[in-house]
């Protein structure tokens, strides 16, 4: 089955700096890669996703890049703000598994003033 690894487990940046979180996956059949933000005690919420026919996608301060050859994808947050502080999860799925998502172990992002 799919295995998703995520690094780093914790990340502390100053407000205004950029943050990068990286994930690798094992199943070459995976073709959908979402990122979720989870604040303490709340539900995971989708913040951005990318499909395998695209190399990069951007939404305001958030971007995701995908390297299918190397089987890794990354989340980039620019101009970080205190409200970006949360746990971020990457995930992967393939059409053969009916949208079942395999999640990484999460990155706790702390944006300091």
Binding residues for other proteins, per CB under 8 A? 4, 6, 32, 34, 42-46, 49, 89, 91, 93, 95, 97-106
Identify which of residues 37 and 77 has a Cβ nearer to other proteins in the complex.
Answer: 37
DSSP secondary structure string for all residues of 7-21: E-SEEEEETTS-EEE
Which 8-state DSSP code applies to residue 100?
A: -
Minimum distance from residue 113 beta carbon to other proteins (Å): 25
Identify which of residues 34 and 85 has a Cβ nearer to other proteins in the complex.
Answer: 34
Minimum distance from residue 99 beta carbon to other proteins (Å): 5
Q: Which two tokens stand for residue 110?
A: 């702390």
């Amino acid at each position: 089955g799919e295995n998703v690894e995520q690094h780093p487990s914790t990340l502390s940046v100053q407000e205004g700096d950029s943050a990068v979180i990286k994930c690798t996956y094992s199943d070459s059949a995976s073709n959908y890669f979402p990122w979720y933000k989870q604040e303490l005690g709340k539900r995971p919420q989708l913040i951005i996703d990318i499909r395998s026919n695209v190399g990069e996608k951007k939404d305001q301060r958030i971007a995701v890049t995908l390297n299918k050859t190397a089987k890794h994808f990354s989340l980039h947050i620019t101009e970080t703000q205190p409200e970006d502080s949360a746990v971020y999860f990457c995930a992967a799925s393939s059409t053969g598994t009916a949208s079942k998502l395999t999640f990484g172990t999460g990155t706790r992002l702390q944006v300091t003033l």
